[in-house]
Structure 1
Amino acid sequence: MGRNLQSGKRLRPIDLARRHGLSTQAVRNYEEAGILPAADRTPHGYRAYTALHAGALRAFLALVPGHGHQVAASIMRAVNRGAVDEAFRLVDESHAQLLDDRRTLQAVEGALRELESTAAPEPGAVSGVVSGAAAVSGAGGTFIGPLAGRLGVRPATLRKWERAGLVRPRRDPRTGYRVYDEADVRDARLAHQLRRGGYPPAQIAPVIARVRSAGGLGPLEAALGDWRGRLSARGRAMLTGASELEAYLRERE
């Protein structure tokens, strides 16, 4: 829209604003932030924009959905000061982040499938009085040792995951020992699968938070579908942004 403007035609801030449902102040703010190139001034001091500014505004607004406001602004500032390679680097970083997010989603889906296929009662999980160190007397759950043995990790690893928020065992009021209930075991198994896939605790914590908020693995399917849809929307938005950015680069040339 608006690409048939002659390069020499003068535009007012309101002309740019109306095309995109913005306020004139927003247009002026974008110029001051370096998102738009600096405008010439009329003899009376008013800003005089051109088709180049219209192209810059189109490019920026197209970049925002795929890259976010901050990165889109940085891309436009780099282009406007002639640092095109810097702008391309920022674009590449966004694409790399999207790819990383896709891989995380695939890892989560794979981990969930494996958990569902291997679901079985955990040794030491009880709902009554069971003798031995594997059980908690009078409350359902399992202690740290049996759970660590089940996962093939050290108890210290489970304590580390607890500090990172990946598991949230309660404490037995009589002994002070950690007690892992069914949801804790689920979270520990999911954390274990993702750690085996090379994901750090900082990336795993939001995934487990999704599982908790969804109420388990089953309801998480809808959340995963939404996550997948948002990643696809970001990818498509990046294509649109790239097209408008290329058009703006041609206009600058």
Structure 2
Amino acid sequence: MPLQSSPTYSTTHLLKSPHGRLLDLRQPQVMGILNVTPDSFYPGSRLGGSPEADLLGRAEAMLAAGAAALDVGGYSSRPGADDISPAEEQARLLPAIEALRRAFPQAFISADTFRASVAAAAVAAGADLINDIGGGTLDADMLPTVARLRVPYCLMHLRGTPQTMRGLAHYEDDLVLTLLRFFRDQLEKLRQANGGHPPADVLLDPGFGFAKNAPQNFELLRRLPELHVLGHALLVGVSRKAMVHKFLGLSPDTA
């Protein structure tokens, strides 16, 4: 399939949750990040060990400030982060999703996980979107699970795992072309898992900081429009990352 022409896919303007909630992407939207982990890269996003009131207070502040969606993660994907079991990830993630759903019934909630079993449990708990840092490469059951659940899906580019990605930032070919090929291949796998029907509610995330060094991150930022060739909206996560605060000479808190 030529990268310059992808008639199989159409631009995603509206994400529809299996629970009936909608996320309008006809204009840029902001996603708030809530990490129910003790070791995510930005301490200000961590909620590990915090009471439910802290979680709900931060979520309320984000929604009031204009966030259109809340992304909740129970597995830290920072470089070199500790691996945890699916059971521990679920024990962190599901109570947070359930609490957010009770408090904010109309909020669009994203579950940040690369594991199919956790994704299915998160959707059952009320999640509207699965945000997969592995783009279907870290769990062979993820793409079939997403297709079966008919849940919106964010497909991110990653090489290796959070534990190994730092050493995998060398690209033999053009960086953006490499990402386009990866996305094309994973979208085709998702189409096959979906009974041959093109996946509609899919976001693409170039994975800033994931198996990419600082110059590569800025190249991706400059060339973001090229990723629209596949016809899907983009999810871009650069907030408080090193490419921002180190370049500006600031701390993550002030960036």
Which structure is larger by alpha-carbon Rg, 1 or 2?
1
Q: Which has the higher helix share?
A: 1
TM-score by length of 2: 0.20
Higher strand share: 2
